[in-house]
Every structure is written in structure tokens, then in C-alpha cells.
Amino acid sequence: MLEVIQVNSSDLQVGMYVSGLDRPWLEVPFPVQGFRIEDAEEIVNIQKYCKYVYVDSTKSAIPGTRAKLKPVSRPRKTNQQIFQGRRLSSYEDSSSWTDEFPRAKAAVDTLMETVDSIFEQVSTGGALDVVKVKQSVDPMIDSISRNPDACIWLARMKQQDTYTYQHSVGASIWAVALGRQLGLPKSDLRSLAVGGLLFDIGKLQINPDLLGTTRTLTDAEFSELRSHVSLGADMVANSGLMNKDVLAMVSHHHERHDGSGYPQGLSGENIPVFARIAAIVDCYDAITSHRSYSRALPPSEAIKKMYEWRDLEFQAELVEEFIQAVGIYPAGTLVELSSGEVAVVVAEYRTRRLRPKVMVLLDADKQPCLEVKMIDLLTEKSGADGKPLEIASSLEPEAYGIDMAAIKL
């Protein structure tokens, strides 16, 4: 039975739970995680922006919602329908960002050291130590389970000269954050973490000059680059790792929802679900990272791109869950405030993604602040001049010469 159904905005009622829109959440002043309509004024506001929305009948607070609504051409699936046979449950933040950060940093630092060691061993012809890989991800998983913001901050602190290693760790963090949002059990979070670390391991056997080139590749070179998928799958299979979800992530992370990917051209539900997750986190981490041939996109622009690609490149439901998991302005995002000040996001509110807590780095004249200045945009809604205070735009990493890795909390 359908749970999420398309509804014309003219047919909305108080009590309906809006879980999706006919446009990116970025373009409207609504909570990105979905919301229940509380009064007629909210309906009028929705009608200003949307011709139709998606209503989750299981979360709606009016009787008979299912019977009154018309299904969409491709019925939306609930998480439980996507992950049949798995017991899903919601996670609650059990520690504050401040308390979690030192534990997250220790976990990610250890993970980086382990990945560096493992990848160095593999690149010189050694075997893949899967036991070491599995052990290395557990502290990071525990941290994200308690509060994902600290690890997300650390995932944003990227170094271009170690892109492959950083990308693997970043993808692993994004994958676990998405798994947490989906309500997957800890065993599945571990699979996502390991798969995120390993799905690009085949690139260690590709010519580094080919990986870092800025010129157009020949057909033969492009074919060699694509071979990292089969090379990685063979390495993981030969390591003795039997986890089918991890193997699926390595083998199919370049497949696309519309069948345009490789190596098999799989589409839709023919792509293993963990590989669908891998494709999303691989793409997001790549487009928000500086690469030899591309500048990093600010997170808000990257999210907008991901939303535009739903049901083309990636499954729509998983894209929307990913947006809920990381937010529009994830921790570690540089932003410019309406006051002209430049700040970095340090923590988000799960229910009010557009008004996070920020630390001001530059004043309105773009000069470094002499003292630490924290602003909670949820409670501080106007500046010293009495004008509304909000995020005006997100900025590229290193905007105004800011060294993100040098920021001290």
C-alpha cells in the first residue's frame, strides 16, 4: 500500500505531513526534513511556491488520508520498503557537538592513519587487511551514531594532495551519516563504512598521472580509468571479505538510476541498494572536493545538483534522505551572513536546517575577528543593526583565503 502520495497544493489540509516538494527544498522557506501542516496560513505559503507536494500518509494527523489522495506515476517508497527485511529504527542525538568533537577527531585521525597504512600496503603490492579495515571504522560509527555533526565537520576538512585517501574517508563518513538517517542497524552502518573506504581502492592500481590529469582522456585511457571498479572488486573478493553489501558497493558504485552508468549499465532496483548509497556519497564527496580538474562546489550548490539528479542519476528517495542527513549547510561549511560577516557552520538543528550555529571568522569588512564569536541563528534572528540576520550564501572552501584546516574550535 502506498505511503507517500502526490497531492495538488489546492487539496492540502491541516494535519498532512509534507515529505517532498515539486522543487528543491533550497528554493523554499520550509524545513528541509519535512513538516506537518499546522494551520491554513502554512497551506497558503505552500501554494505560493508549489503546484504539488508529496504527503506521507503514515505521518499525517488526519483520518482517511490515503483514501483521498491520488498516487504519483512512480509511487514513492518508504525506507522500510526500500530496505525490506531489515529492522529500521530512529537515532537520537545523545551528545552535544562540543562533547562529541574530541571523540570524533580521535576516531577520524585514527581512521586516516589506518587508511594511509592500508592503502600504502596495497599500492606496493601487499594484501588488503580487511580485519584492520573493519576495526578502524568502529569508533567513527559510534561517534556518528551519537551525533553526526562532528564527523561531518571533519569530512569537510579536505586536503587536495591526498584526495584519494581523503575521498575514501569522506565517503565512508557520508555513507554512515546517511545510514543513520535511514535508521539502519549498526551492522549495516559498518558495511557502509567499510564499503565507503574501499569502493575506490582499485584506483591504487591505476596510473597516478591518469588520475590527476586535467586534459581530455582518450577512449583507451577512459577505459583504463573505469577498470578501477573491476580491479577493486577483485582485490576485495581476494581479501576474503564475504560481505555482499560491501562487495556491491565496490562493484556497482558507478551504476546510475537511469541505466547510464558502468560497468553493467544497471538501472533502478536492479542496482543493489548499498551501491545506490555508494553512488550518492561518492558523487557528493567528489563535487565538494578540490580535484585536479575541478574546483569544489559549496555544499548548498552540491545539494541542489544532487536534487536535480534524483531519479536520473540516483534514486529520489535516497537523495532526499541524504539531504536530510547532511543538511544544506553541513558543519564545516563557509557561509556569508546577511550582515556581511563570514562564518563557518559548527552545528545544525535537525528541524531547522537553514538556521545553524556558526562561528564568525571575518567581520563585515572581511577582516579577521580578534575574538571568538559564536552566533546561534535559531535564537539570534537580527543583527546589532536590528536587521534580519540569516545566511545569505554559502562560499567555496578557502574563500577570502581562509584555511579551513587551521580553524581552532
**Which of residues 165 and 254 earns the better pLDDT score?**
254
> Sheet containing 391-394: which strands, arranged edge to edge?
368-376, 357-362, 342-347, 334-337, 391-394
Query: Same structural domain for residues 124 and 42?
Result: no
Query: Same structural domain for residues 9 and 105?
Result: no
Query: Same structural domain for residues 396 and 314?
Result: no
Query: Same structural domain for residues 340 and 321?
Result: no
Residue 90 lies inside a defined structural domain of this protein: no
Query: Same structural domain for residues 114 and 205?
Result: yes
pLDDT (mean) for 168-192: 96
Query: Same structural domain for residues 384 and 321?
Result: no
Residue 88 lies inside a defined structural domain of this protein: no
pLDDT (mean) for 104-115: 93
Query: Same structural domain for residues 37 and 113?
Result: no
Please identify, among 285, 302, 326, the residue that sits at the C-terminal boundary of a domain: 326
Please identify, among 309, 326, 343, the residue that sits at the C-terminal boundary of a domain: 326
Residue 161 lies inside a defined structural domain of this protein: yes
**Residue 67: per-residue pLDDT:** 42
The CA distances from residue 80 to 3, 55, 88, 253, 269, in Å, are 11, 17, 7, 22, 14
Residue 172 lies inside a defined structural domain of this protein: yes
Query: Same structural domain for residues 269 and 363?
Result: no
**Mean pLDDT estimate for the chain:** 86
State yes or no: pLDDT of 28 exceeds 80. Answer: no
pLDDT (mean) for 332-354: 87
How much is the pTM? Answer: 0.79
Residue 11 lies inside a defined structural domain of this protein: yes
**Which of residues 135 and 292 earns the better pLDDT score?**
135
State yes or no: pLDDT of 175 exceeds 50. Answer: yes
How many separate domains does the chain show?
A: 3
pLDDT (mean) for 316-342: 90
Residue 87 lies inside a defined structural domain of this protein: no
Query: Same structural domain for residues 175 and 246?
Result: yes
State yes or no: pLDDT of 309 exceeds 60. Answer: yes
Residue 354 lies inside a defined structural domain of this protein: yes
CATH number at residue 199: 1.10.3210.10
Query: Same structural domain for residues 126 and 46?
Result: no
54: which strand partners? Answer: 6, 20
Residue 333 has, within 13 A of its CA and on its CB side, a CA count of: 32
pLDDT, tens only, 138-154: 999 999 999 999 999 88
- The most confident of the ranges 116-120, 327-331, 380-384 is 116-120
Query: Same structural domain for residues 272 and 360?
Result: no
Query: Same structural domain for residues 289 and 308?
Result: yes
**Residue 87: per-residue pLDDT:** 92
Residue 385 lies inside a defined structural domain of this protein: yes
pLDDT, tens only, 39-98: 787 888 888 878 888 888 888 877 554 444 444 456 778 999 999 999 999 999 999 888
pLDDT (mean) for 261-289: 94
Please identify, among 326, 352, 374, the residue that sits at the C-terminal boundary of a domain: 326
Give the range of the structural domain holding residue 176, as residue numbers without chain letter.
97-326
**Which of residues 158 and 62 earns the better pLDDT score?**
62
